Amino acid sequence: MNTLAVEGIGVIGAVGHRLVDGDGLSSDGWLVSARRVPSPNHDARPPKTVISLLVIHAISLPPNQFGGDAIERFFTNTLPATEHPFFATIDGMHVSAHFLIRRNGECVQFVSCLQRAWHAGVSCWQGRDRCNDFSIGIELEGCDEQPFEEAQYVSLNALIEILTRAFPITAIVGHSDIAPGRKTDPGPFFMWQRIVGAGAALI
């Protein structure tokens, strides 16, 4: 297991978030510098939920292929099942993440951080189920078979710094950590030691 504990982050606000315009996130939970592609695949978090977990994923569509807009269309329910054989296997799924970091480091946001994106699925972290309730999902364009790009680590660290200023994040984990046996991402090529933002330390 490779996870990160985040130290030095206190409780901020009644439900654990501090969002200030001009401080990276807008007051409604959108990253100012990200390209916004709103996804319908989200809903409200449970009342008074404290956002305390970051979950790192990896995705490529078609599998092991990069570029194009298939990920964005998948997260917005506009991906034609007939366009590629693999797309037929995920047709009808309604999923999303808060963020996607492309191979060139571009950050795309699909769901406000204040809303519950549908990224974790059946999941558990430290005895707590339904990780979507209290987490923010960050997808990296990538796969289990290839290294990630330097630009992705740069953008990811910048994003983590912004998010840990805004929310009382206590851990950064992979999808495989909250859904072991079901998920493998971000995979063996993800370099956890490259995560340096906001006092994170390997545990």
Residue by residue, pLDDT tens for the chain (203 residues) are 666 666 443 323 324 444 444 458 999 999 999 999 999 999 999 999 999 999 999 999 999 999 999 999 999 999 999 999 999 999 999 999 999 999 999 999 999 999 999 999 999 999 999 999 999 999 999 999 999 999 999 999 999 999 999 999 999 999 999 999 999 999 999 999 999 743 343 33
Enumerate the H helices of the chain as residue ranges. Answer: 70-75, 85-89, 150-166, 175-178
In this structure, is residue 15 part of a structural domain? yes
- CATH number, domain at 49? 3.40.80.10
In this structure, is residue 80 part of a structural domain? no
Q: How far apart are CA 169 and CA 142, in angstroms?
A: 24
In this structure, is residue 185 part of a structural domain? yes
In this structure, is residue 73 part of a structural domain? no
pLDDT of 88 reads 97
In this structure, is residue 86 part of a structural domain? no
How many domains does the chain contain in total?
Answer: 1
Amino acid at 8: G
Task: Judge whether 139 counts as a catalytic residue.
Answer: yes
Amino acid at 66: F
In this structure, is residue 130 part of a structural domain? yes
Active-site choice (72, 139, 141, 149): 139
Alpha carbon distances (Å) from 58 to 44, 71, 86, 165: 24, 11, 17, 24
pTM given for the model: 0.89
Residue 68 tokens, joined: 């194009």
pLDDT of 1 reads 62
Range of the domain at 186: 4-68+95-202
pLDDT of 114 reads 97
pLDDT of 18 reads 45
